[in-house]
Amino acid sequence: MRPVTRLALYLAPVAILVAGVLLLGEKPPADLFEQSRKRLEAARAARAGDYAPSQFATAQEAWETALQSWREENRRIAAFRSFDTVAIRLAEAEGAAEAALDRARHVADSLRSATETQAAAARDLRGPLEQAASFFPVDFVDRRALLDAHTSLSLAESALEREDLWKAAASAARSLATYDSLTRIARERILPLVTSSSDWRARRDRLVRGRSGYAIVVDKAERELTLYENGKVVATHTVELGRRWIGDKRMEGDRATPEGLYRVTRKLGRGQTIYHRALLIDYPNEEDRRQFAQGKRNGTIPAGARIGGNIEIHGGGGRDADWTDGCVALPDRTMEAIFNRVPVGTPVLIAGSLTGKYPLVDPESDGTDR
Q: How distant is the alpha carbon of residue 156 from its chain centre?
A: 12
* Residue 133 · residue 143 · CB < 8 Å: yes
Residue 5 predicted with pLDDT over 60: no
Model pLDDT, residue 75: 87
| Residue range 248-299, pLDDT digits in tens | 999 999 999 999 999 999 999 988 999 999 999 999 999 999 999 999 999 9
Domain span(s) for CATH 2.40.440.10 in the chain: 197-352
Model pLDDT, residue 162: 93
Model pLDDT, residue 301: 93
Distance from the first to the final alpha carbon of the chain: 129
CB atoms within 10 A of CB 87: 18
Task: Give Dmax (Cα) for the chain.
Answer: 152
**Mean pLDDT value across the chain:** 89
| Residue range 306-360, pLDDT digits in tens | 999 999 999 999 999 999 999 999 999 999 999 999 999 999 999 999 999 888 8
Strands, E assignment, the chain:
214-219, 224-229, 232-238, 260-268, 278-281, 312-314, 328-329, 347-351
**Alpha-carbon span 198 to 370, nearest angstrom:** 8
**Alpha-carbon span 284 to 343, nearest angstrom:** 20
Mean pLDDT of 176-203: 94
Q: How distant is the alpha carbon of residue 187 from its chain centre?
A: 15
What percentage of the chain has pLDDT greater than the value 90? 70
The SS3 call for residue 270 is: strand
Q: For residue 1, what pLDDT band results from cuts at 50, 70 and 90?
A: low
Nearest to 229 by CA among 246, 214, 217, 239: 214
Mean pLDDT of 122-128: 95
H or E stretch at 151? helix 143-161
| Residue range 57-69, pLDDT digits in tens | 999 998 899 889 8
* Residue 350 · residue 259 · CB < 8 Å: yes
CATH number of the domain located at residue range(s) 197-352 in this protein = 2.40.440.10
**Alpha-carbon span 288 to 291, nearest angstrom:** 5
Q: For residue 361, what pLDDT band results from cuts at 50, 70 and 90?
A: confident
Name, in order, each residue with C-beta under 8 angstroms of 76's C-beta and a sequence gap of 6 or more. Answer: none
